[in-house]
Structure 1
Amino acid sequence: MVHLCSSHDLLDAVRSGASGPELREIELPTRFRAAFTRKDEVGIFDGRADKDVRRSLHVGEVDMPELAPDECVVAVMSAAINFNTVWSAIFEPVPTFAFLERFGRQGRHGARHDLPYHVLGSDGAGVVVRTGPGVRRWKAGDKVVLSPSYVDEQDHGSYDDGMMSESQLAWGFETNFGSLGEFCVVKANQLIRKPAHLTWEEAGASTLCAATAYRMLVGRHGARMKQGDIVLVWGATGGLGSYATQLVRNGGGIPVAVVSSEEKAELVRSQGCEHVINRTDLDLGEQGLRHPKAGRILGETIRRLVGEDPGIVFEYLGHETFGASVYVAGRGGKIVTCGSSTGYRHEYDNRFLWMRLKSIIGSHGFNYHEAVETNRLIALGMLHPTVSTVFPLDEAPQATRAVQTNQHVGKVAVLCAATAEGQGVDDPALRDRLAGHLNRYRR
C-alpha cells in the first residue's frame, strides 16, 4: 500500500536506515526545501560593487520534478558550496537561466529544467530513494556521492572522454534540481559509491574539487604529472588547491604551495607540504601579483626553495596570477588551468611561452572514470576531505557568501537532510585510523 507523505516522512525513513523496499513504499513528496535563485531577480546587482549572494539566494519549497527513465531521486544528506554556486547567485558571467532555457529546448525531459527558479549545487552525498525504469545498477537505499558531470551516454563524443561530448553539462549549474536541497535529481551515471568511513558532510564535499584536480594533474587529459615533478599550486588551502597538494605528494611530485597567510601556511605544512610561499611576504607593492616583476620575484623564491623552476603550474585563479604562472614555469613546462576566479581576461608575455616551449592546458571538470578513480583514492584513505565549516540548509546563502568573500579554507559543507554533523559513518575502524587527517581543516 502506498501512503501519502510529507518530505519529512521519507527523509525520516532515510535517516533511520530504512531498507530499499521500505523507502519505495513511501510516496515521494510533491514539494521539498531547497536553495535557489529566481529568474525575476536577474539584474538586481547591476551597478553594485558588492554583489552579495545573500540577496539572491533563497531557501524555500520547490516542486519535485518528474523522473526521466535514466534518472534517480536522491535524498541529499549533505552538499557543498563551489565557486559555480557563487557565479550562479551573482548571475555572472551570464545568468544560468540562459543555460536552463537552452536545455529546455531539448525535448520533454529537458523542458523540466526551464523554470523561473534554479536549484543550485554541484556536490553532494545521500541515499537513492527512487530509480527510473532505465536504471539498472542502482537501487533505493544505496548510499552515494554525486558526480557533477552531466553526460549523455548516447552522445558518441562521451565514449572516448565524457568531457569532449558537445552535450556535456555541469549539473546544478547548467541544469536544474542540484544538490542544495532535501532531494535532487541525477542521471544514474552520476552516482558513485559513498566511502564508508566518511561522514555525510565529508563525503558530499569532495567530488567536484578533488576530481577536477585529479584530471588536471594525474589523468591522461591533463598535465600527466610524474615522480619528481615540481608543481606550483596556487591557493593551496582552497577547495581545489587542498586536493592538488595531496595528489602531488601521493604521486611522488614536489608541491610548492602558495597561500595568503601564515595560518594557511601552517595548515598546508600539516598536510606534508614542505615548501610553502606566503604571497604576502613577497615584495610586490600595491599591484600584487600583477606587478611586472612578480614572475621574476616569485621564480627566484621557488628556486631558493627547490633549486629549479616548476614543471607544472596548477592554475585556477586567472587574471591575478596567470602572467606570473606563464613566467615561472620551467622550459617545456605546463600551465594547467580550470578556471579564473579572479577574472577571465588574462595577460601574459607570450615570449616566455613560445621561446621556452611551454604549453597551456585547458581542463574542465572530469569524466566519470576520473570521478570514480578519485573516489577510490578517498575510499582507500589516500586522499582526504578538506571540510572546514558546516552550515545548515537554511544558511546556504551565508555559506555561499563565505566562499564568495574567500572567508574559508578547504570546503564549505551544507547539511540538507542530515540532522547533525558526524552522521553516516559505516566503517568506524578505518575512520579511527585516519582521524588525524580527516579533521585537519576543521575550525
Structure 2
Amino acid sequence: MKRLVLLLTVITLSCLSQTIHAQDVHSPWTASLSTNAINNPFRTFPGDEGRFKTWNWEAAGFKGGISRHLTGKLSFEGTLTLTGIKQNFIDVNEKFSLIALDGLLKYNLSNSFTVNPYVTFGGGLTWVDTLGKSFTVDAGVGLNVWLTYNFGLTGQTMYKQAIQEFGISYYQHSVGIIFKFGGSDNDNDGIVNKEDDCPNIFGLADFNGCPDTDKDGIPDKEDNCPDTPGTLNGCPDSDKDGVPDLYDNCPNLVGEKSNRGCPIPDTDKDGIIDTLDKCPQIKGSKNNNGCPEEKPEQTKAVISKKPVLIYFELSKAEIDAKSQKILDNVAKFIKQSDIKSYEISGHTDNTSSKQTNLKLSLERANAVRAYLVAKGVAETKLKTAGFGEEFPIDKTNTKAGKQKNRRVEIIPML
C-alpha cells in the first residue's frame, strides 16, 4: 500500500505543476495495442513472499485499450490485458496466465500536438490461473507521441494494488501503437480541419493553424510583409513614425503619414510646419498661426494718423480671420485711448446696383461695430454709416481696384 500512496503523491504533484488544456473534441476515440511486462508481482499471502519472478514478459501477451474523450481535460479508457507470470521456486518457471480488465480516468498534462503526457487513475479486476481473482486500485503515468494527427506511439507505467489479501499487486509497463478516430488534419499541424483556418498549410495553434513565416507574431494572412519581421501590420517601421519602411520615403527619419513618412518642412524656421503656418515664408509666432504679431503700439500709431481699413470679399459682410486680428488690436487701443468717438464707414465696389451697394456697405460697417463691441468697446464711442460705391479709393474697372474699394474705414474723430 505504501507504493500506491507514493505513486499517487507523485501524480498529484504533477497535476498541480502543469497547465491543462482541452483535448481534441473532434477526434474523441483512440484505440491502442501494446506489448507489456509485469514487474515485481507479489502477494501478502503467507509463504508467497518472493514467489514470482521480478520481470515477466510474454511474446504473445498484449494489452489493448479503447479511450473516449469526456470533457476538456478528461478521457476514460478501458483496457484488457492477456499475459503471464512465472515462479521463482517450487515448480521453477511454471507460468500462470494473467488476465486483467481495467477502467481508468486519464488526465492530460500538456496541450502539445505531438507529445501528450498524462496521469491515470482507476480500478480493475485481475485473474491469475488457480490463484483466483482480486480487485485492484490502479494509478499510473503515460505518454503519447503523435507521428501524424491520427497515428502515434504510446507508453505507460501502471501500479495495481490488490484490495484482497490473497490478490496479486504488481507494476505493469507497456509500449505500443495508438490510433485516433474521427477528424482529419490535412497539413499535419495538429489542428483538425474543422478548427484550422489554413487547413492545407502547416501552421501554429496560436493562429488557428495558419503560418507565421517571419515569426513576428502576426499570421501571414494578416501580415503585409510575411517574409520580413515587423510590428506595423507585420512590416518593419525603423523610425517608428507609423509609416512602414516599404512605403516610407524617409525610413530613418520620423515623419508624417501625409508626406510619405518624411518630415514636413518649416520654410521660415519659426517652429510651425508649413502645412499649419499661415505665413510659411515669414517667421512668426505660434500664437498667431505662424504670422508675425502686430504690436498694439503699431496699431496706435496707425489709427492716430489715418483710418484703419478692413477689407471684405465680394458681396459679403463677414469678417475674415486676418481682419479679426486687426480688430482685436483696434479694440485694445480704443479702450485705452482718450479719443471719445470713432466713425465706422462702410464702402463697396461698383459691381451691383447703387441701392444694393448702399445696403451692403452699412451691413459691413455694422459688422465691424458689433465685433468691436463684443471685444469690450463702448457702443457710445462708435458711429456707423454706409456710403455704397460713392467714394472709391482705387480704380473701379480693375479686379485689384475693386478689391480695395470693398472696405470699412475706422476713423478717429479727433
Instruction: Please report the TM-score for the alignment, with normalisation by the length of structure 1.
Output: 0.15
Larger relative CO (CA 8 A, sep 6+): 1 or 2?
Answer: 1
Greater share of strand residues, 1 or 2? Answer: 2
